[in-house]
Amino acid sequence: MIVCANCGQENPEQAKFCFACGQPLEAAPSGSRDERRIVSVVFVDLVGFTGRAEKLDPEDVRAVLSPYHDLVRSELESFGGVVEKFIGDAIMAVFGAPTAYGDDPERAVRAALAVRDAVREADERDLHLDLQLRIAVNTGEALVSLGARPALGEAMVAGDVVNTASRLQGAAPVNGVIVGRETYGATKDAIHYEPTSPVEAKGKSQPVMAWIAIEPTVPAGTRRQTGVLVGRGPELDLLRGVWERVAIERVPHLVTVLGPAGIGKTRLAQEFGETVEELGGRSVQGRSLPYRESSAYFGFAMQVKQLCGIFESDPSDVGLAKLHERVADVSSAADVEKVTRHLAILLGLDREGSVEDREELFFSVRVFIESVAAHKPTLLVFEDIHWADRSLLDLIELLAARLRNLPVLILTLARPELLDSRPAWGGGLPAYSALPLAPLSPEESRELAEHRLANLSNEDLARLAQTAEGNPLFIEQLVATIAEAASAQSDSLPTTIRGLVSARLDALPAEERSLLLDAAVVGRTFWRGALERIGDGDRLSERLGALEGRDLIVRDTGSIMEGEQQYAFKHVLIREVAYELLPRADRQDRHARVAEFFEASTAEVGEAVAALARHWRDAGHPERAIPYFVQAGEQAERGWAKDQAAVLYNEALELVPETDAEQLAKVRRKLAMALAAAVHIPDARILMQEG
């Protein structure tokens, strides 16, 4: 069976496309199918059902559990979760594996709340069994078997995150959702929580911090946008220039803002929308969701509802009346009924109607937009169109191509993945602009960090700006982590950042992703020969070129190794997260191959010696690492880098077995001499200056 990397669906070996989602299927990469991932585990359990079941006939038990299982599975899977197992009346699901989406903790909590509400509604409406639930969500690192088939009873995740989720579930209030610290930290901006007492969990040395999830505070797929906009002046000026031409010359225009998650697309659109309204225009927003969309045209439907004053809470007949009234205001009498009927289908207000000709449907949309924009210059914002259905993308391009003599600006926001599915996006249109968003500069990054936390030291600001690499969301998350920990010394990345980077890696074709993980073992800088030593060299140039085209790596114009192509990761966070995905055994095997490459390709002098030492150490071969650490320390001493020599000798000392007295004495002597020299170097410098 081939497991779809996009949705987790199992497909027969001969399938070329996933039977569930239609995405192309790729053969599993060679090597281990295990990875270390940040996952969110959901446990759902019925309260008191075991006692009730012992009084029921087995067929009656199944009659209760089957619809319950189906309902819970449906809700969990609609948010992108994978149901790993059913244990009687308990259900366990995993978010973040086999595919990460970047917001998996939030999806998990939203799914848990949806399960709570759906079971209550179904019980009141149909089952009448007084079903009570306890639900827990916990986030943490787990070892994930990507090739596991949960439907066949194969376990997919293992780790303390699972055990803790199970313990939390037992402490959840009846019909409540309890979450652990990592889940709370990753979702507190989107979910309203109430504090609860720490949970005394069996097998845990310390009480487990916990919170009770109440309800979402923002719509799915959105994030609170607060504070000043930093470093986007040129982009705002460009958008303002396009708007002025659209409004004055009545020339419709399509602009697509491209950039990875967290780079500030939504924040820029929000600021620009306020500018448009200050200039007398109208701004309406719609977004595509990565899950639970009820319509292929969801993003456009949101815009129509805003224009018509339709609320999600409005009954269908009220929504239809508002739609008809708005269409009658802006359209000619001859078009009112047809346009209203077609838009009602798009909005889901008419569940029975249909349109045989898509051109007629799109024509009604065009008539409506033309009528709206004729009264007032209009900005239509479509967010996250990389998640949009193909039909919505077709509609956007059609509007951009066929609207004429109207003050309409269509602003679309997308991640670079859009161009994988629509490489010709915007091509051939009379007025189209692509606006790639670059990372913030180091100065802008420091400015944003200071806005978020004023008391950061210059050293902390510099380190934070370097780590975040100009991504505003990463800066905000790192600042929040520092503020909560009251220290900038934490080496672990926030769950939100790891999730977003993992999602970007999971969006890669399998062969490119596997190559990136291999490169991560070599280091921030890596060489083609090392990759050939680690894995399959087939189509290596093509795969490296594809990764460079995706702005993940860059080929250096020179190389420190003669005849070797040298590359580097564009972003250290990509390298760090890719490396953390590899299980320990896989890391060790790759480190050994990299060490063999260095031994075969270098003169074992300079930086290569320290690299050899660390690769052999990380490969689990201390006996081969120790001589290299000592050699690197001796080289550092000869160059009067006594502090560095001491560090290298200390790394060697940590690897020497306690039983090897001779080796211990030798390395300790070298370490002591290096430390003594390092202490006296400042005194020597003072004496030389005095002399």
Alpha carbon distance 329, 309 (integer Å):
13
Q: Are the C-beta atoms of 526 and 568 separated by less than 8 Å?
A: yes
3-class SS at 355? coil
pLDDT band at 123 (very low <50, low <70, confident <90, very high): confident
Q: What is the DSSP letter of 27?
A: P
464 within 8 A of 490, measured Cβ to Cβ: no
Question: Scanning the structure block, which residue is given the tokens 């290569």?
Answer: 608
Q: Within 13 A of 159's CA, how many CA atoms are on the CB side?
A: 21
Q: CA angle at residue 30 from 585 to 574, to 5 degrees?
A: 65
- Asked if the model's pLDDT at residue 203 lies above 70, the reply is yes
**DSSP secondary structure string for all residues of 182-230:** HHHHHHTTTEEEEE-PPB--TT-SSPBPEEEEEEESS-TT-----S---
CB atoms within 10 A of CB 588: 16
DSSP string, 14-26: T-SB-TTT-PBP-
CA 24 – CA 16 distance, rounded (Å): 6
Examine the pLDDT at 613 and tell me if it is beyond 70: yes
Query: Could you give the CA distance from residue 14 to residue 30 in angstroms, rounded to a whole number?
Result: 18
CATH number of 609-691: 1.25.40
pLDDT of residue 691: 39
Q: What percent of the chain has pLDDT over 90?
A: 55
Task: Convert 664-680 to b/e letters by CB count within 10 Å (16 or more is b).
Answer: eebbeebbeebbebbee
Helix (H) or strand (E) holding 162: helix 160-171
Cross-strand pairs, 297: none
Structural domain boundaries of the chain? 1-30, 36-216, 233-436, 442-487, 508-601, 609-691
pLDDT grade for 348, boundaries at 50, 70 and 90: confident
pLDDT at 6: 59
Condensed to tens digits (0 to 9), the pLDDT of residues 553-571 reads 999 998 888 889 999 998 8
Long-range contact pairs involving 318-322 (C-beta distance under 8 Å, separation at least 24): 319/347, 319/349, 320/344, 320/349, 320/350
Asked if 107 contacts 148 with a C-beta cutoff of 8 angstroms, the reply is no
Distance spanning both ends of the chain, measured CA to CA: 79
Which of 244-258, 345-359, 549-563, 610-624 shows the lowest per-residue confidence on average (mean pLDDT)?
345-359
Q: Pick from 255, 219, 574: which is nearest to 414 by CA?
A: 255
- pLDDT reading at 234 higher than 80: yes
84 three-class SS:
strand
Q: What percent of the chain has pLDDT over 70?
A: 89
For the ranges 340-349, 461-470, 550-559, the lowest mean pLDDT is seen at: 461-470
48 confidence band (pLDDT: 50, 70, 90): confident
CB contact set of 87 (below 8 Å; sequence gap of 6+): none
Predicted local distance difference test score (pLDDT) of residue 330: 65
Q: Is 352 helix (H, G, I), strand (E, B) or coil?
A: coil
Range from 118-122, 332-336, 548-552 carrying the lowest mean pLDDT: 332-336
Report in angstroms the alpha-carbon separations of 279 from 97, 265, 274, 307. 46, 21, 9, 19
* Backbone CA torsion sign across 223, 225, 226, 227: positive
- Sequence-distant (6+) residues with CB within 8 A of 660 are none
Is a pLDDT exceeding 80 seen at residue 400? yes
Lookup: tokens for 395: 């509609």
Residue 368 has pLDDT above 70, yes or no: yes
Amino acid 680: pLDDT: 61
What pLDDT is stored for residue 214 in this prediction? 97
Query: Bridge partners of 213?
Result: 177, 193
Asked whether the predicted pLDDT for residue 19 surpasses 90, the reply is no
**Among 78-82, 301-305, 331-335, which stretch is predicted with the lowest mean pLDDT?**
331-335
pLDDT on residue 552: 92
Residue 23 confidence class, pLDDT cut points 50, 70, 90: low
CATH class of the domain whose range is 36-216: alpha beta
Q: How confident is the model at residue 191 (pLDDT cuts 50, 70, 90)?
A: very high
Query: Rounded to an integer, what distance in angstroms lies between the CA atom of residue 259 and that of residue 438?
Result: 7
Give the pLDDT score at 8: 62
pLDDT digit string (tens) for 414-453? 999 999 889 999 998 989 999 999 999 989 988 888 887 7
Angle at 54 between CA 53 and CA 57, to 5 degrees: 75
Could you tell me which residues are beta bridge partners of residue 500?
A: none
Order of strands, edge to edge, in the sheet holding 378-383?
282-287, 378-383, 408-414, 253-258, 432-436
Task: Give the pLDDT confidence of 530-540 residue by residue, as tens digits.
Answer: 999 998 778 89
Amino acid at 294: S
Determine the pLDDT at residue 582. Answer: 94
Query: Per-residue pLDDT for 28 more than 50?
Result: no
| pLDDT score at 331 | 65
The pTM assigned to this predicted structure is 0.81
Q: Which residue has the higher pLDDT, 484 or 393?
A: 393
Where does 233-436 sit in CATH, by number? 3.40.50.300
Instruction: Judge whether residue 685 has pLDDT over 60.
Output: no
Q: Give the architecture (CATH level 2) of 508-601.
A: Orthogonal Bundle (1.10)
Indicate whether 651 pLDDT > 80. yes
For 389-453, the three-class secondary structure string (H helix, E strand, C coil) is: CHHHHHHHHHHHHHCCCCCEEEEEEECCCHHHHCCCCCCCCCCEEEEECCCCCHHHHHHHHHHHC
pLDDT above 90 (res 29): no
The answer, yes or no, to whether residue 30 has pLDDT greater than 50, is no
Find out whether 2 and 10 touch, Cβ atoms under 8 Å. yes
The lowest-confidence range among 260-269, 285-294, 420-429, 493-502 is 285-294
